Amino acid sequence: MKYRTLGRTGLNVSEIGFGGEWLERHEESESVELLKYACAQGINIVDCWMPDPRSRDIIGKAMEGNREKWIVQGHIGSTWQNGQYVRSREMKHVVPAFEDLLKRMKTDYMDLGMIHYIDSREEWDTCMNSEYIQYVHRLHEEGVIRHIGLSTHNPRIGTLAVNSGFVEMILFSINPAFDMRPATEDLDSMFGGYDAAEYSGIDPERAAFYRLCEEKNVGLTVMKGFFGGRLFDAKTSPFGVAFTPLQCIHYALTRPGVSSILCGYDTKEQVDAAVAYETASEEEKDYASVIANAPLHSYMGQCTYCGHCKPCPVNIDIAMVNKFYDLAVQQPSVPESVKEHYGALGVTASACIGCRSCESRCPFGVEVAARMSRAQELFGY
C-alpha cells in the first residue's frame, strides 16, 4: 500500500480507503472482519458519515485494540432521528449524535471532524454564522477532533472551504462523469442525463477547485469515485464505454490535491480488487485511452496528468510540469510554493529538446512541446 500526506493535516493516509456506508448490509461479525481485513491490507482511513448505530458499532469493534492504526473521518451533523438519517445543524441533535459516534467507536477523538455535507451557499452562510460552527471549533480547540474537514459535492462550496483558512481537508465527489458537470447545489442532478453536445472535458470550475486545493495544501479524499457503478457498464456510462474500477481509482488519484479514494466494499474480494491498484500495470490503470476513444465527451486538448507522455528522452516528468504550470498560470504571479515544487522536480521544462515524441502518445492531442516552452518562460527555467 502506498500512502500520501493529507494536505496540511500531516496525516499519512492510504491511497485506497474505506467508505463504510455498506457495513450495515451484513451481519455484524462479517462487517467487523471485513474492516479488520482491510486494515491488514494497509488501508488506514475510513469514513463514517453514517448516523445509524449499527454501522458505528461495527467500526468501533473493528478498531478496538488498534485505534492508532485508523484515521477516521467522523461527521458532525449527521444524525439518527426516529430510525432514519437526518442532516441537521440543530444542536439538540448534533451534540448527542457526535457524542454517540465517539461512544460507539470506543474512542475519545476523531482524526478528522467533518462539517457534514454542505452543497448550497445558503447553508454554508448559515453554518458559518451559527452555534454549529462554534461547536466544531470548540471540539477542535479541545482536541476532540484533531483536524477540521468538510464534505461537499459542489466545487463552489469546496472553494469557500479552502479559502476559509480553517478547513484542512475536504471529502469530495470525483469521477470522470461528475468532472464534466458544472457546479450545482442539487446532487441528484449529477446522475441525470448527459448531452454529448453540452459536455466536453473537465468543467473549468472543478479543475480550478482541484488546483486550488493543491496550491493551498488542502487535502482531498474522494467519494462516489465509481459514479454509483454506472461507469462500469457502457449502457449507463455517459461516455458510451465502460470503465474498470482500477481506471476509476487511477482517475481520482491523478487529480491535483487528492490523497485517497474511499471505496465501498461488501466482500474481501472487493477489497483485494481495489488494493490491486497498487500492483496494477499502467495498461490496467489507463483511463485516458478509454475517455479519448469514447464515442461521447472527449477531453481533447486537456492534460489530465495521465502519464501517457512517458518516457521522456531527457527524463522530464511532463505530467507534473503540466500540473504545476496549470497551478501557476491561474495566479497573478507564480506562488512560491508552486515554484518550489516545480524546482524540486530536478529536470524542468527547460530541458525539453522539442522532439515531440510525447505528443504522439498523448490521447488528448495536447501540444506538449509548446506547453514546455510556456512553462519555461513562466518559471524562468
**pLDDT tens series, the chain, 381 aa:** 999 999 999 999 999 999 988 888 889 999 999 999 999 999 999 999 999 999 999 999 999 999 999 999 999 999 999 999 999 999 999 999 999 999 999 999 999 999 999 999 999 999 999 999 999 999 999 999 999 999 999 999 999 999 999 999 999 999 999 999 899 999 888 887 777 666 778 999 999 999 999 999 999 999 999 998 999 999 999 898 999 999 999 999 999 999 999 999 999 999 999 999 999 999 999 999 999 988 877 788 889 999 999 999 999 999 999 999 988 887 888 888 888 989 999 999 999 999 999 999 999 999 999 999 999 999 999
Domain membership of residue 309 (yes or no) is no
Let me know whether 242 and 98 are in one domain.
Answer: yes
Contact 295, 283 (CB under 8 A): no
In the three-class reduction of DSSP (H, G, I as helix; E, B as strand; rest coil), residue 253 is classed as helix
- Separation of alpha carbons 194 and 214, rounded Å: 29
Domain membership of residue 243 (yes or no) is yes
Domain membership of residue 217 (yes or no) is yes
Looking at 263, 285, 307, the residue that finishes a domain is: 285
Check which CATH number belongs to the domain holding 156 and give it.
Answer: 3.20.20.100
Domain membership of residue 295 (yes or no) is no
DSSP string, 267-280: SHHHHHHHHGGGG-
Cell numbers that stand for 50 in this block: 453514517
Domain membership of residue 308 (yes or no) is no
Residue 375 sits in which domain range? 318-379
Let me know whether 182 and 329 are in one domain.
Answer: no
Let me know whether 177 and 238 are in one domain.
Answer: yes
Looking at 285, 310, 341, the residue that finishes a domain is: 285
Contact 227, 177 (CB under 8 A): yes
Domain membership of residue 258 (yes or no) is yes
Let me know whether 49 and 185 are in one domain.
Answer: yes
Looking at 236, 262, 285, the residue that finishes a domain is: 285
- Separation of alpha carbons 215 and 332, rounded Å: 14
Let me know whether 256 and 343 are in one domain.
Answer: no
pTM: 0.93
Let me know whether 153 and 50 are in one domain.
Answer: yes
Let me know whether 130 and 254 are in one domain.
Answer: yes
Let me know whether 248 and 340 are in one domain.
Answer: no
Domain membership of residue 300 (yes or no) is no
Let me know whether 271 and 326 are in one domain.
Answer: no
Q: Domain count of the chain? A: 2
Let me know whether 159 and 212 are in one domain.
Answer: yes
Backbone angles phi, psi at 365, to 5 degrees: 65, 30
In the three-class reduction of DSSP (H, G, I as helix; E, B as strand; rest coil), residue 215 is classed as helix
Contact 245, 269 (CB under 8 A): no
Let me know whether 270 and 325 are in one domain.
Answer: no
Domain membership of residue 74 (yes or no) is yes
Contact 219, 8 (CB under 8 A): yes
- Separation of alpha carbons 40 and 44, rounded Å: 9
Q: Find, among 353, 352, 349, the residue nearest to 376 by Cα.
A: 349
Let me know whether 167 and 243 are in one domain.
Answer: yes
